[in-house]
Structure 1
């Protein structure tokens, strides 16, 4: 009755999968069309796609001129948008080592957890590092900020200021901490894992170098850091390609509004597809902002219908 469908994964991204299935059926019923169209449904995206899209891309199963990714938030009827890229990561592990002792005599040991707690804020300082980004992304970053500032539920000035920095600075959050074996044993080992996201076009190796420098500056003994990254991060396409223009025209016809170009704050399978096959990728999803991984996850029926129109309409009008 409320125009919503509830369920885990409904927004991220089973809704887009359902819209794609309906689109595939419609295209099949139309008979032969000018373009060859393939719909791929893959798993494992949340952990890198090693058994899904990444494997398919690495083994060259994917072939095509262009690829539309159904992941992400296309903005629905109100704020239609196209993802021209998405952020990549610099997964970071901080390890603290100490010396064990009995819990009743802590002064005889060196508590690794205490050392870790002291060092964590130094890794978090990477959020103050200004990224050097290509000027061709200026428009997409402006569009991204406009989109997210209007769709995120930002409750206070602190959140709003953080949102404004999301592209020109790394985002950083410590999400996993491990350490200790028993309550009465001083731990000699502890570790923390950080999710650090970088805007495409930035230099992840410079970010890695800065993190290592910050940990050294902390002066905390027994600390080491490992930053997993490559020479490039994420991916992005130009918004000025025929592909982008034609997808934008399809979305405008379906929604009645000219779509915005933006960069996703998270990652999608487009990173693997673009990097391993070279196939240009643009994203148009049906999800709602802020719904991914939520216990009350939901999707609007209007978004699903709009998704069907876009996924069906683009193959019918694409001219290469």
Structure 2
């Protein structure tokens, strides 16, 4: 059975699977893979629908990972077409999830169908699909990976279908990602009258210098294959409806994207130590609540990255840049299972109004995946 990748993408877009809703998107994937002979296993954690599907029992096992959930549409009236109508206008498919990343899921399923029909699968193919990549990512790929590891499931390599192309199709694949840590900072002081500051403890006198100290440190100058780490303050607030009151609390939030020169725990400890130092001798109490959403990782250049790069070059006639730039993805969880590389569509319109991709690029991505599967089993099978 062969699959039309563009039609399957449209079918997936028409399921408005805004995290954590599934809206039937996972059913579409499961039914299609079942028709191709995959043994499908739904893995629901909390509200989140996940799917692990495998064809074959032999090794190597080449896995494709992706997500059916999408971000909200924003201003629906600003879309030129219905956000979930999946209309094709002048050869361009418009719809939430077209790029990020229902197009890639459909392209890989179509490529797998061709590989199966051609007898190219000299081992196993598998799919790890989640509905929680765009959300807090607690009940999605993280828990599926934990379950597969506990069960001893052997996955040898993984391809993630994130939209990694930067400007033109196939110009970049991702071989690693920086880590990410968020930190919420709460400073509790003593409320009082602004004319009598000695009777109060102004949280700003701790919060402001603390943020200055944190932002004043150059975390590093970069790391091999990685850009420098950066700290960004994303929230500052001191709730206060009056002009003559020193408020009792101040809050801040920050995010650090870090390369392998650091670990999330090391950075969390540093923030806590700076908070303790700044608040020492004051009547303010500082609470730092860190959340480490992923550690930095790199899939070292080698036979697997060579296969992926060559598959892209087969279609584009140019080798892609191997990059670690950008945000985080579920690859940060999958790397505990096996080496992982990300390759997908051009990401310029992801999360935007009128998210879109030329249908020809979905077809080109399918061709890349076809070559990748062929080359992979020739190299590792």
Q: Which deviations, in whole Å up to 9, do the C-alpha atoms of 1:155-182 show, x marking residues without a partner?
A: xxxxxxxxxxxx12x2222223454275
SS at match of 1:264: coil
Structure 1: any 5+ residue segments left out of the alignment? 142-166
State the Cα distance separating 1:87 from its structure 2 match: 1.0
Go from structure 1 to structure 2 and tell me whether the alpha carbon gap of 1:224 and 1:72 turns closer, same or farther (over 3 Å shift).
farther
State the Cα distance separating 1:23 from its structure 2 match: 2.7
Distance (whole Å) between structure 2 residues aligned to residue 7 and residue 36 of structure 1: 32
Alignment-derived partner of residue 162 in structure 2:
71
Alignment-derived partner of residue 203 in structure 2:
112
Go from structure 1 to structure 2 and tell me whether the alpha carbon gap of 1:216 and 1:31 turns closer, same or farther (over 3 Å shift).
same
More deviation, 205-214/77-86: 205-214
Go from structure 1 to structure 2 and tell me whether the alpha carbon gap of 1:8 and 1:176 turns closer, same or farther (over 3 Å shift).
farther
Q: Which deviations, in whole Å up to 9, do the C-alpha atoms of 1:218-271 show, x marking residues without a partner?
A: 5694263536377x92211111x2111111111110111112111033111111
More helix by share: 1
On the 8 A contact 1:125/1:214 being kept in 2, the answer is no
**Greater Rg by CA:** 2
Q: In structure 2, which of residues 182, 196, 202 is the aligned counterpart of residue 91 of structure 1?
A: 182
What's the TM-score once normalised by structure 2's chain length?
0.63
Distance (whole Å) between structure 1 residues aligned to residue 195 and residue 267 of structure 2: 40
SS at match of 2:307: helix
Distance (whole Å) between structure 2 residues aligned to residue 207 and residue 282 of structure 1: 26
Distance (whole Å) between structure 2 residues aligned to residue 12 and residue 256 of structure 1: 24
On the 8 A contact 2:219/2:230 being kept in 1, the answer is no
Mapped pair 1:255 → 2:313: no
On the 8 A contact 1:11/1:288 being kept in 2, the answer is yes
Alignment-derived partner of residue 328 in structure 2:
267
Distance (whole Å) between structure 2 residues aligned to residue 292 and residue 77 of structure 1: 14
Q: How does 1:57-206 map to 2 (within 5 A)?
A: 57-60=145-148, 63-75=154-166, 77=168, 80-101=171-192, 107=197, 109-112=200-203, 115-126=206-217, 128-130=218-220, 133=223, 138=224, 140-141=225-226, 167-168=227-228, 170-177=229-236, 179-180=238-239, 182-183=241-242, 186-206=246-266
SS at match of 2:314: helix
Q: Which deviations, in whole Å up to 9, do the C-alpha atoms of 1:138-161 show, x marking residues without a partner?
A: 3x34xxxxxxxxxxxxxxxxxxxx
Structure 2: any 5+ residue segments left out of the alignment? 1-88
Regions of 4+ moved over 6 Å? none
State the Cα distance separating 1:200 from its structure 2 match: 3.2
Distance (whole Å) between structure 1 residues aligned to residue 219 and residue 375 of structure 2: 43
Distance (whole Å) between structure 2 residues aligned to residue 226 and residue 245 of structure 1: 43
More strand by share: 2
State the Cα distance separating 1:193 from its structure 2 match: 1.5
On the 8 A contact 2:190/2:201 being kept in 1, the answer is yes
* Higher relative contact order, structure no. (Cα contacts within 8 Å, ≥ 6 residues apart): 1
What's the TM-score once normalised by structure 1's chain length?
0.73
Q: Root-mean-square deviation (CA), in Å?
A: 3.3
